[in-house]
Structures are given as structure tokens and as C-alpha cells.
Amino acid sequence: MDVMCRCPQIFGLRRERLQENVDYFRDGLGIPKKQLVDVIHTFPRSLTYKIDSNLKPKLRFLRTELDFTKEEIREEVIDFPMLMSYSLEKRIESRCIHLRRCGVRIRTCQSEAKKRGRNHKSIKLKSMLLPSDDVFYNRYQEEATVHWLSHGTVKYDPSGVDQPEEEFFLDLGDLHASS
């Protein structure tokens, strides 16, 4: 009953649709029954998302772009079911791109950071998604956010993604004259 109170949208779904989502999490991702109950109890909206147009693209992105294994994706969904609520384009993908620019790797668990060595900057997927945009982009600022444009124009992008930007010009002719 608690699930229904926290996600009344479930009342409007057909039984078949709910079963399809349960089957996808259980059979497609391999989430065991006990853990699936925990996932649904923690985040009941997971039953409302369309599989082909919402869940699969997000999980495919984790697999192809972040090189997460099926087991790692399953553990991420179990550990952080709200992962499925974030927009692929507006949150997951844009933040992954920004972190790549910053030289930060996205990992699945603490033990993986130890395996890969402590010299490499990395954060958990959950830590990437939870903070607000302001907190996230202030926390992870690019070391080199200067992008060269044509004709000696340099565009400075302090946030790294589609934010208002300051522009300044650098005359490359001065550099050649002094050499």
C-alpha cells in the first residue's frame, strides 16, 4: 500500500504494463526477487517508465559509453533506483561529457577505484547524478575549459556545457612576431 501512496500513477497502468516492467528488471537485468521488491519499494516510479523509449536507452548508454558490465548496471539500479528517473540527454549524458572534459572517470563502486589506482580521478555514478547543476558544475570545473575557434578566437566556457559564456580575442599574430 505504501508503494501506491507514494506513486499513485501506478493505479492508471494496466496490469500487463506493470508485469512487463517487473519482468524487464527481473529477467532483462537479472535483479533477484528480494532485491527487486526493495527497488520497487524504494522507487515505485520505476514501474511507470516505458521500457523501449526510456529504460533501455539509459541502460544502453551506461553499457556502451561508460563500459559498465551488465552486472555493474544491475548493481547500480539496485543501489540507486532513482537512476532511472534522470533524463538521459539533460542529466546523464551531459554530465558524463563534462566529467570527461575534467578528466574524471565514472565508476560503479569503491573497490573499482582501488583496482584502477588512486591517481585517477573518479566518482560514483550516484554522486554524479544527485547534486543540483550549480553544485555539480562548481564541484567539477574543467582544468582547461578554453576552446579554440576559427581565426584566433578563444571561447571560455567555465561550466563546460551550454552556459552563458565570456568571449575574448587573442591575436595570434603577436605570438608569431615575438618568436
What φ, ψ does residue 143 adopt, rounded to 5°? -70, -35
Q: Are 156 and 165 in contact (CB under 8 A)?
A: yes
Per-residue pLDDT tens over the stretch 82-134: 999 999 999 999 999 998 888 888 887 644 544 555 545 788 899 899 999 98
pTM as predicted: 0.70
Angle made by CA atoms 96, 98, 101, in degrees to the nearest 5: 110
Per-residue pLDDT tens over the stretch 154-175: 444 444 444 444 454 445 555 4
Residues 6+ apart with CB under 8 A from 12: none
